[in-house]
Structure formats: structure tokens, C-alpha cells
A = this chain, B = another copy of it.
Amino acid sequence: MLSRFKRCCICFAFVRMIVFYHVKLHAIVYFYHKIISVAITSIDIIGTGNLAFNLAPALEQAGFVVNRIYGRNAQAARELAGRLYQAAVQSSLDFSDSLSNLFILAIADDAIEEVSRELILPDKAVVAHTSGSKSLSVLGYTASPHIGVLYPLQTFSKVKKTGFRDVPILIEGDNKYTRKILTTVAGRLSRQVLAADSRQRRIIHLAAVLAANFTNALLHQADQVLQQAGSDLDILAPLMAETLQKSFALGPQQAQTGPAVRGDLQVLETHLEMLAGKPQLQETYRLLSQYILDEFYEEAGD
């Protein structure tokens, strides 16, 4: 058996070893983060749409320098630059003398390919688009070896400032370095950064359009209908809040209510008659009610 002293020595050596490696590991992580942080302090934005107007200020607030803004619409570029601390307006797609090392394309999906062909970037720059539906490969035309995607799953408008903190940001990159850079940038904007390849992102984007864009279109239709009763959209606010809350809490299958899920055909008929003067709205009603009948009716019973 070992003496008490020897056991103490072994214990001490063991603890020292753990502390040593712990500190060393932390130092490595610290310097690694330092390098990454240094590598992406400066960003240029190409585009002046709804996303650019929300993303550029959010990047500044997250501690990055937004260096240059490029936009086909010079007026919009000046307006966006004016909202930032020190961003300059760039008038061409030649960024070869830019000090930035991340270039974010926040432009219409259809324009990405064309712009990326014309884009001239500094060596080793990372370039990323922000589209939900376009694959990573549309950036293959850029001269950059580092192409990626940073797609915030959110709806943005120029007239309304939208935070990024809870927004899922989907990241893709053609190499480890690019993924790391984009993950770090996204991680300073949001608590929810996820890896998604082009196929996954395209599917998630389609789901987002189905759910969010179409819900807004339905609210527009509802608003038109409400005017006939001398009422306005606000009357639906508590109902819509509860609908979402319930749908996410119970799942849409359990949360479905209304005449279709009850199989209340008399009401469905009356509603279709009420919409007789609005064929597009009537067709929407018919189609979605049929979907509810097909998907939920048998299971709900009641």
C-alpha cells in the first residue's frame, strides 16, 4: 500500500495536470476565437432591400464594422449608409480595395447569379448570400474561394425594425473556414444558429412562405371581408394570437377548430355563398376547407 504522503503527491500531480490542460485548452479556445473575431470585424453589404435595412444596423450593434453599402438604387444606398456609424456608399461592384473580409449579398433571389458574376472581391474574402431558396452554388461564379449562405428565417420590412435575437439563422459554407466565419457572425446576431444544406434550406423556405406569407395574405382577405361589417382587423387580434399559441403548443393537428373540422357543411355552404362576388377568395375558402375536411375531419370526429 502507498503511504499517505505518496498518495497526496499523486493526487496533487493529477490535479495540477488537469488545471494545466484546462488552462491550456481555454487559452487555445480564447486565441482561436480572437483570430476568428479579428478575421471578421469588417463587413460590406450588397443590397438595399428590406433585409439589408435590418441586417446592417444589427451587425453594427453586434460589434462589427459595416464598411460599405452597394445598391443599384443609389438613393436607398445613401439612406441605409446614413443610418450606420461610418459606412460609405460604394458605386460599383469592384470591391478589390475594400478592407472588409465578409461580403453579404442581401439582394433579390433572381439577381444573385448576375451580381456574383460581376463582383470583384479582395483575396480570401468570404462572400455569402441570404436567400432561402437559392442554392450555395449560385455563388460559384464569384472569384472567391469562400462561398456561403447566411439565411435569417424572418420577415423584414424597411419601416419596422426587427430584432435578430430569436431568429433562426441557417448557415451553409463550401468549406470549414467559411462555415466558421458565418457561424460566428450569425452567433453574435442570434441565439439560434443552425447548419442547413441548400436542399434543407429550400424546403424550410417553402414552409415559411406557406405559413407566414400566406397567413398575411389571409389576414388581408379577412380585412376586406370585415369592412362589410363595419369592423376592422383589430377585432381578430386575440383570436390570431391564441391560434398561433395553440398551434405551436398542441400541434396544428390537435389545434384545428372551425366549421370544416366539425364537418359543419351548412356553414361551409353559407360562407361560400357569402363569397360569391369574390371568386378568388371563394376558391381559397373552398380549397382550404377541403384540406381541413380531408386531413382532420375523420380524426377529430366530435
Mark interface residues in A205-217 (1 if CB within 8 Å of B CB, else 0): 0111111111111
Tell me if A222 is interfacial: C-beta within 8 Å of chain B. yes
Nearest-CB residue, chain B, relative to A257 = B155
Mark interface residues in A261-275 (1 if CB within 8 Å of B CB, else 0): 110101100110011
Copies of this chain held together in the complex = 2
Cβ distance A52 to chain B, nearest Cβ, rounded Å: 12
Whether B160 pairs with A238 at a CB distance below 8 angstroms is: no
Tell me if A168 is interfacial: C-beta within 8 Å of chain B. yes
Whether B274 pairs with A153 at a CB distance below 8 angstroms is: no
Cβ distance A125 to chain B, nearest Cβ, rounded Å: 27
Q: A217 contacts which chain B residues (CB < 8 A)? A: 252, 256, 288, 291-292, 295
**Which of A16-24, A26-34, A240-248 forms contacts with chain B?**
A240-248
Nearest-CB residue, chain B, relative to A213 = B258
Q: Tell me the dominant secondary structure on chain A's binding face.
A: helix
**Given the complex of chains A and B, what is the CA–CA distance between A266 and B135 in angstroms?**
13
**Given the complex of chains A and B, what is the CA–CA distance between A213 and B207 in angstroms?**
17
- Give A contacts to B, CB under 8 Å: 49-50, 108-110, 133, 153-157, 159-160, 162, 166-168, 192, 194, 196, 199-204, 206-223, 225-226, 228-231, 233-244, 246-262, 264, 266-267, 270-271, 274-275, 280-281, 283-285, 287-288, 290-292, 294-296, 302
A-B contact pairs, 15 of them (CB 8 A): A109-B267, A133-B271, A153-B239, A155-B257, A196-B229, A199-B229, A206-B274, A206-B275, A207-B225, A207-B231, A212-B236, A213-B261, A215-B215, A217-B288, A217-B291
